[in-house]
Amino acid sequence: MNTASPIELTSNPKVEHNTHAFLKALNSAEGPRLEQLSPKEARDALVNLQASAPHDLPPADIEHKTVEQDGLSVSLTIVRAMADLMSWLSAIPTG
């Protein structure tokens, strides 16, 4: 069986800093590796890891919709940046 080794963060400076922190926490976790867990256990482990990380979300309008077609029903969550955030983003120089 081929066992994956942890991603070496120090050798890849292109890893974004939030991703770096997530991978560092994932690689330093105690217990079995994700690939050794059942799918449910692995999902739960990732949910717990994500929930433990501090994060700030920008203001957003969130809308829940259900779309039905041909007897199928799909629940959607639509997240849109709020208008004042969009005007702030459009003021950022890009070039």
Q: Are 30 and 37 in contact (CB under 8 A)?
A: no
Distance CA 23, CA 3 (A): 17
**Which pTM was predicted?**
0.43
User: 34-51 pLDDT, tens per residue?
Assistant: 889 999 999 998 888 888
**2, HSE (Cβ side, Cα atoms, 13 Å):** 1
User: 51-78 pLDDT, tens per residue?
Assistant: 877 777 777 888 999 999 999 999 999 9
Classified as helix, coil or strand, 80 is strand
**Residue 28: both structure tokens together:** 């330093």
